[in-house]
Chain A
């Protein structure tokens, strides 16, 4: 049993919400509150949130632990308690060794200071000594790839340059325990790849790593073990693959099926659901696997030429799919009865949140349009390029061409693949 580097004993964290805590609360509110004797009565009325509830956790030295959970589950709070940014309401969190916190890249960067000055400032803020920063300085500059701009105030940087420099400093932080919170969510693809690469390196170097992220595939790749937080409670801990599976399966609780019981006149929707690759209905699915949209509807009187269409849209209302029954079945639609229609969607859509809309009607009139019947989420690896609608992983054909070849106006001469080496 290796020595532990992090221990949490019955850690709970409560946040109070309410006037008194609202940012921009004024002294007057407090003073008048006291005079009206509201200061005390108020206390009981204030809404409270338990961000962490009785969390017990031990992380061995050298272990990499992933932390997953929905928005607001308490992941960031856990990391903040661990790094001593905030105190637990009850319980104790203990760490052994130097803790490096990367809850954000570029913490403390000052826009007026030059890149060089910010490297030193940011390094000091992250807990590096001046000696250490001096020693690592060249490596940091190298890694950032922006040496030409080091004497420019960072307010003149593009956001990409800013991130590069900030991450370069963070990447050279030497700590025994690295605490990383979703810093991969920002930056361009190149930057995100670099982050993941560096994370893998850190993991291999034998440091203790705690990594909270919504990028489940990165978690599985980087962390052998994970914990799953849900509304402040530690639900499970185990091999990342299993925990991620359980987490995805729990999407079930997010009503993956919508039911309707309107009278059919002449047609009515009965239910809409999303099924994962193994046929379970779930509102959280793996991006890399096909899934099915199932629509059950009822036809009371014959509706000649009845058509069904399923529309998938992003939350920004971009229509990604609009597939109709008539696309594949030309005739014989619309006899009375109960129907179950299934649409198999191949793994083509990008990671993200989608809504399902269902349309029933004929070529002449719309009988029913159920917008936003369901919402589901595709989770998976964006490979650092989240800004896209489809993710097809199309195969590439790449070949090295001899440098002696004339690179003419066509760019380069291409040998068709079947003739390579012939």
Chain B
């Protein structure tokens, strides 16, 4: 973006057309130009969330901890799931932290356009900035929970492995899965406000269809191909492999990668095809 002294049209200023030449998926250059807005929107959500929370960032630890305790009671003491040598509490804590990020990120992305309707109808910005900014604040909580996981590992004497270097990859992966699904739901939500219920249903189903409370090794080999159609299946495996030194994701987990990419592309495409009508319909 070239800025000039107001009022003087310089030769650098290019014509900007509306409608703009169609982008099939997204306009990375424009997103880059609006990176400050994305940061401010993410920062706003973060600030608002922590402003009136008495315990602040402690919730980032308390929430997965309580979740992990419940999972421990149900899946360890009642059902006796085998977590493959890793203390179940630790196993469940990490899983729950990652899952919380995914579920909250998806929820925030789903509501990102409707929640910013005032912006969408009154100013121009690349619409993708809204869902993108929505999946960012949760990362802080996940980071805090990951640090807590490290503390828990030290306490329970579980050492890290070399797989730890792949952690950033898995963080990006869960982020993109939440974004991909979030784009689809956000777009639906603009027109159909019950998309939010659809989101709730999906998260519920996926919770049990992903290895959150149990290791994926419990899945019968015959069902694996189907199981890994769920992108979160591969992501959860990856996190536990990288952080806790659990068994590496099986080759079938590559299917998760594939579906993850497909979901993201479909999300971007669907969003791009609908975004020019957002301001009219919202």
Least CB distance, A116 to chain B, in whole angstroms? 11
Q: Which of A74-114 contact B (CB under 8 A)?
A: 80-88, 92-99, 101, 103-104, 107-108, 110, 112-113
Contact A25 B9 (CB under 8 A): no
B73 in the interface (beta carbon within 8 A): no
A206 in the interface (beta carbon within 8 A): yes
Binds B, one of A125-133, A330-338, A385-393: A125-133
Q: Which of A5-60 contact B (CB under 8 A)?
A: 5, 7, 15, 20-21, 23-30
B82 in the interface (beta carbon within 8 A): no
Interface residue tally for chain A (C-beta within 8 Å): 58
* A23, A103, A121: the one within 8 Å of B123 (CB): A103
Least CB distance, A43 to chain B, in whole angstroms? 15
Contact B124 A206 (CB under 8 A): no
Contact B7 A176 (CB under 8 A): yes
Contact A83 B123 (CB under 8 A): yes
* Closest B residue, CB atoms, query A77: B280
Contact B44 A80 (CB under 8 A): no
Contact B194 A27 (CB under 8 A): yes
A62 in the interface (beta carbon within 8 A): yes
Q: Which of B9-43 contact A (CB under 8 A)?
A: 9, 13-20, 36-37, 40-41, 43
Contact A83 B124 (CB under 8 A): yes
**Residue in A15, A26, A175, A176 whose Cβ sees the most chain B Cβ within 10 Å:** A176
* A26, A80, A108: the one within 8 Å of B192 (CB): A26
Q: Which of B105-157 contact A (CB under 8 A)?
A: 116, 118-125
**Chain B contacts for A26, CB-based, 8 A:** 192-194
Contact A112 B19 (CB under 8 A): no
A208 vs B5: C-alpha distance in the bound complex, in angstroms? Answer: 12
**Residue in A87, A94, A174 whose Cβ sees the most chain B Cβ within 10 Å:** A87
B188 in the interface (beta carbon within 8 A): yes
Contact A61 B16 (CB under 8 A): no
Least CB distance, B241 to chain A, in whole angstroms? 38
Least CB distance, A420 to chain B, in whole angstroms? 46
Contact A95 B15 (CB under 8 A): yes
B6 in the interface (beta carbon within 8 A): yes
Contact B44 A101 (CB under 8 A): no
Contact B16 A84 (CB under 8 A): yes
A99 vs B6: C-alpha distance in the bound complex, in angstroms? Answer: 10
Binds A, one of B47-55, B165-173, B211-219, B252-260: B47-55
**Chain A contacts for B124, CB-based, 8 A:** 83-85, 99, 101
**Chain A contacts for B281, CB-based, 8 A:** 21
* B3, B48, B123, B193: the one within 8 Å of A101 (CB): B123
**Chain B contacts for A117, CB-based, 8 A:** 44, 47
Assess A97 versus B193: contact at CB under 8 Å? Given A87-B276, A110-B44, A110-B48. no
Least CB distance, B4 to chain A, in whole angstroms? 7
Contact B191 A25 (CB under 8 A): yes
B198 in the interface (beta carbon within 8 A): yes
Contact B16 A86 (CB under 8 A): no
A94 vs B18: C-alpha distance in the bound complex, in angstroms? Answer: 6
A1 in the interface (beta carbon within 8 A): no
* A24, A81, A124, A205: the one within 8 Å of B37 (CB): A124
Interface residue ranges, B against A (CB under 8 Å): 1, 3-4, 6-9, 13-20, 36-37, 40-41, 43-44, 47-48, 51-52, 116, 118-125, 188, 191-195, 198, 276-277, 279-282
Interface residue ranges, A against B (CB under 8 Å): 3, 5, 7, 15, 20-21, 23-30, 61-62, 80-88, 92-99, 101, 103-104, 107-108, 110, 112-113, 117, 120-121, 124-127, 129-130, 153, 174-176, 205-208
8 A-B contact pairs sorted by A residue (CB < 8 Å): A25-B191, A27-B192, A83-B124, A88-B19, A97-B13, A104-B122, A113-B48, A124-B37
